[in-house]
Amino acid sequence: MKLCLITILCLALVTMAQPSLAGDAPATTGTVLWISDIHFNPFYGRDVLKLATSDQKGWRDHTEWPAILANMPANQSCSGKEDTNDFLLRMVVDHADTVTHASRPDFILITGDFLSHDFTSFYFNQSGLPVSLAQVPQHNDFVSQTMAYIAMTISTKFDGIPVIAALGNNDAFCGDYDVRRDSGFLASTQKTFQKYFLSDLSDDFRTVGGCYSTKIPGTQHRVIVLNSIPFMKKYPDLQYVRSSSIMEDACLSFSKIDLVDEFQWFRKIADNLGDSEKVWIACHVPPGIDCFQGTQYWDVELADASRDSSFLEEFIGYYNSRGQHMAGILAGHSHMAEFKLINNKNVPASSVLMAPSISRIHANNASFRVMTFDRESLIVADYVTHWLDASMNPASPSWGAPFKFTESYMQPDVSPRSLAAVYQQMTTSPVVLNRYFEDYSTRNGSRNSSARQNFKLAIPSVLGP
């Protein structure tokens, strides 16, 4: 396969002004409420009541969780570098409702990681239940109830607004980076998503492995949701289940999601798009370089033995071959505010936009994004990142001044051309580069030193046709 250079540039999104995307959008402009990496932890805090001493019946029904969680002392603040408790989840959902009240979203996008890090470890440690295969069904039910509680919390606040959601690496019965096709998690989550998010969610979600395609309301275009966890070297890797070998024993008989099958499914959908139909690809882990680690997100060594190219090369090559339909990739995972450029024959042709997280575990501030787009072209017109400052008063945190892309960089939109112009500014202007580091972790500078060290590594070359 003849290869050319596709440049993917890790960058962040920033502004210093007080923005507004509500109330004045023209009819041709759509709005997306975009949240990512929720990492909800119902066991939040060392003083949380053990499940064994709480109402077991209540825990088995997610509709009874609001009263249970509200009475936990740890759910009265959001201090520390922790995953998301009920206090923080509700603060974010309530504020998102407030800032989009004048102009309701066309849809809500969630780019994965509903569950906390080390969920299984927390479950067995906090529940007081014996670590045994006999307890695995109860563990799995609790995972399902947690997924349903998060979905219910969001759906109740935004009643009637469709939610398009991808799965993250923590979203599984079996553990981190280990969702299995027939473990029961996909079937359970499909029912939850159909109840709270998309009533017409296709059975592809269960059979393909967390993938589906759905129309964008009010447009002729669509979102293709991929499960990008099988694209990583870590998949499937049971070492990430740190509590015991119990989940490993329970999951070994389940089949993994096949990379080739998923790619073929994606190509079938993309090959049959209408002449003027465009798509966003939504997934959790994007292609390109991890700006913090300086390594590839997707494993470039993943390749079919019958081919002479890696999976990443094949994916980007195919993506560019369908370039007239591809409006961009929307992802999360890093917990930081970033974007990447995808070049086709040395021309900025598309982009990867990455939303920051609600979870604060990686020294970032809890954030969500409101994005506007042109309903005809799917070009992103602008977006505003809203962030919560809990540094001074964890029990009563305040929302900082949101930052808006176009006002910060004086660009007309968030098209690939505008993103390329911002990158050029970063290479010549220390002011713009410093803004990148300020906003990479949504105004929390403690993450900046590692990002600075890896910045050159984060401007990689990815091969493609």
Closest Cα partner for 354 from 11, 7, 2? 11
pLDDT of residue 13: 42
DSSP readout, 22-55? SS---TTEEEEEEE----B-TT-STTPPPGGGS-
Length of the chain: 465
Pair 387, 399: CB distance under 8 Å: yes
Closest Cα partner for 154 from 305, 368, 5, 308? 368
Compute CA distances 141 → 50, 57, 316, whole Å: 17, 12, 38
Q: Which residues of 38-65 are buried (b: 16+ CB within 10 A; e: fewer)?
A: bbbbbbbbeebbebeeeeeeebeebeeb
Helices 136-157 & 86-99 angle (0-180, nearest 10): 30
pLDDT of residue 252: 80
Note if the bond before 394 is cis, omega within 30 degrees: no
Structural domains present in the chain: 4-464 (3.60.21.10)
Q: Can you tell me the distance from the alpha carbon of 130 to that of 124, in angstroms, rounded to the nearest whole number?
A: 7
Q: Are strands 461-464 and 163-166 parallel, antiparallel or unpaired?
A: unpaired
Q: Can you tell me the distance from the alpha carbon of 220 to that of 191, in angstroms, rounded to the nearest whole number?
A: 26
Q: Is the dihedral of CA 264, 277, 410, 97 positive or negative?
A: negative
Q: Can you tell me the distance from the alpha carbon of 37 to that of 357, in angstroms, rounded to the nearest whole number?
A: 5
Closest Cα partner for 269 from 316, 206, 219, 226? 226
pLDDT of residue 151: 99
pLDDT of residue 423: 85
CB atoms within 10 A of CB 16: 13
Closest Cα partner for 223 from 170, 271, 165? 165
Compute CA distances 34 → 56, 133, 282, 354, 396, whole Å: 34, 38, 11, 10, 24
pLDDT of residue 460: 36
Closest Cα partner for 123 from 166, 79, 170? 170
Pair 313, 263: CB distance under 8 Å: no
Pair 434, 451: CB distance under 8 Å: no
pLDDT of residue 447: 53
Low-confidence ranges of the chain (pLDDT < 50): 1-23, 238-243, 456-457, 459-465
3-state secondary structure labels for all residues of 421-443: HHHHHHHHCHHHHHHHHHHHCCC
pLDDT of residue 48: 56
pLDDT of residue 93: 98
pLDDT tens for each residue of 114-171: 999 999 888 888 877 788 888 899 999 999 999 999 999 999 999 999 999 999 999 9
pLDDT tens for each residue of 30-77: 999 999 999 999 887 555 556 655 666 677 899 999 988 887 776 677
pLDDT of residue 418: 93
Q: What would the two tokens of residue 390 be?
A: 């809990």
